[in-house]
Structure 1
Amino acid sequence: MFSEFAFNIFNTSIEKYHIKDDVYQNFENPYSKDDIEHLLYRKNWIDTVQWHYEDIIRNPDINPNDALVLKRKIDASNQDRTDLVEFIDSYFLNKYKSVEIKPSATINTESPAWAIDRLSILALKVYHMKEEATRVDASMEHKEKCQAKLNILLEQKKDLSLAIDQLLSDIENGTKYMKVYKQMKMYNDEELNPILRGNK
C-alpha cells in the first residue's frame, strides 16, 4: 500500500534528522531525483525541520531579532512545503493520466498529496509522542497520558492510511478524479501583498 510505503520513508527521514537533532544540519537525500521516494523524503525533512523551528520560536526567552529571523525561515519552509505537495500531486497526475474516468466519477475534498502531507505531519506526531510516552525523566502520570494520546494518533494513522489508499485506488479505477489547483498564496507575492507592494 502506498500509505505504508510513504510512512516508512517519513520515518527514515525523521530518524535521520534526530541523529544530530539540529535544524541547521546539512540535508542529503538518499533517493534518486527521478523517484517518488526523493519527493517524499524531502517533503518530510522540510516538515521535520519546521517542527523544530516551531519549538524554538516558542522559547519565551528568545531574542526578538532571532525570533524574526526564525519567522522568516518558517515562512520559507511553508513555501517549500507547498511546492513539494504540488510536485507530489504532479507525480500522481502523470501516473494516472491514461485512466479512463467514469461518467459517475466524483472529486475528492483534497488531492492525494495534501492527504500525504497530513500523513507526514502525523508521522512526526507519532515519533515525538512516543518519545514522551517513554521519557525516563517523566512522571508515570505524564507517560500514561502521552501513551493514551499515542494510541489515538496510531488509530488516526490507520484511518488516514486507509483513506489515502482508497483514494488512490479509486483514482486508478476511474471512480474518482484528480483536479489540482496551483497555490494561490498572496502573502509572498509583491503584487498581491499590499505591504510588500508598498515597499517596492
Structure 2
Amino acid sequence: MISAIANKIFQRAIEDYHRHDDIDHPIENPYNSLSLEHLLYLKCWIDTVQWHMEDVVRNPDITPEEGLNWKRRIDKQNQIRTDTVEYIDSYYLQEYSDVRAKEHAHINTESPAWAIDRLSILALKIYHMNLEANRIDADQAHIASCKSKLDVLLEQRKDLSQSIDELLTDIAAGNKYMKVYKQMKMYNDPSLNPVLYKKTP
C-alpha cells in the first residue's frame, strides 16, 4: 500500500534533514528522479525545511528586517510545496489514465496528493512531538501532555493512511475518479495581486 511506502520515505527524509539540522543544507534525494518515491522524499524535505523556517520566524527577538526576509522565504517555500503536490497528482493522473470510471463513480473531497500532503505534515508532527515527549529538561506535566498528543497523532496517521489507500484502490477500480484543480495562489502572481500590479514603476 502506498501509505506504508510514503510513511517510510517521510521518516527517512525527516531523519536525513536532522542529521544536519540546517535549513540551507542541499537535499540529497536518494530515489530515481522519475519515480514517485523521489517526489515523496522531495515533498517531505520541503515540508521539513518549511517547518523549521516557521520556528525561526517566531523568535520574539527577531528583527523586523529578518522577519520580513524569513516571511518571503516561507512564501517561496510554500509555492514550491504546492507545485510538488501538483506534480504528485500529475503522477496519479497518468497512473490511472486508462481506468474507466464506473457510471456511479464520484470524486473525493480532496485529491490523492493533497491527502499525502497531510500525511507528510503528520510525519513531522509525530517526529517533533516524540522529541518533546522525551525531553529530559521538561517537567512531568509537559511530558505527559506530549505523550497524550503523540498518541492522538499516531492514531490520526493510521486513519489517514487507511483512507489514502482506500481512495487509491477506489480510483484504480473505477469507483472514484480524480478531478484536480490547480491551487491558483493569487498573492504570488504579479498579474493577480493588486499590491503588485498597481505598484508604480
Q: TM-score range by the shorter chain?
A: over 0.9
Partner of 2:66: 66
For structure 2, list consecutive stretches of 5 or more residues without a partner in the other structure: none
Cα offset, 1:25, TM superposition: 1.2
Residues 1:191 and 2:191 aligned together: yes
Residues 1:30 and 2:30 aligned together: yes
Percent identity between the two aligned chains: 61
Cα offset, 1:183, TM superposition: 2.3
* 1:103-157 Cα shifts (integer Å, max 9, x gaps): 0001100000000000000000000000000111111211111000000000000
3-state SS of paired residue (1:107): coil
Residues 1:122 and 2:122 aligned together: yes
3-state SS of paired residue (2:60): coil
Equivalent AA in structure 1 for residue 173 of structure 2: N
Residues 1:180 and 2:197 aligned together: no
* 1:32-89 Cα shifts (integer Å, max 9, x gaps): 1111111000100010000000000000000111111100100001100000000000
3-state SS of paired residue (1:73): helix
Partner of 1:111: 111
Equivalent AA in structure 1 for residue 65 of structure 2: N
Cα offset, 1:24, TM superposition: 1.5
Residues 1:150 and 2:150 aligned together: yes
Partner of 1:160: 160
Equivalent AA in structure 2 for residue 47 of structure 1: D
3-state SS of paired residue (2:6): helix
1:184 & 1:132 partners in 2: Cα distance?
36
TM-score by length of 2: 0.98
Partner of 1:17: 17
Residues 1:136 and 2:136 aligned together: yes
Q: After the TM superposition, which segments of 4 or more aligned residues of structure 1 sit over 3 Å from their partners?
A: none
Residues 1:81 and 2:65 aligned together: no
For structure 1, list consecutive stretches of 5 or more residues without a partner in the other structure: none
Aligned length: 200
Equivalent AA in structure 2 for residue 21 of structure 1: D
Does 116-125 or 25-34 show the bigger shift? 25-34
Does 176-185 or 113-122 show the bigger shift? 176-185
Equivalent AA in structure 2 for residue 91 of structure 1: Y
2:136 & 2:30 partners in 1: Cα distance?
32
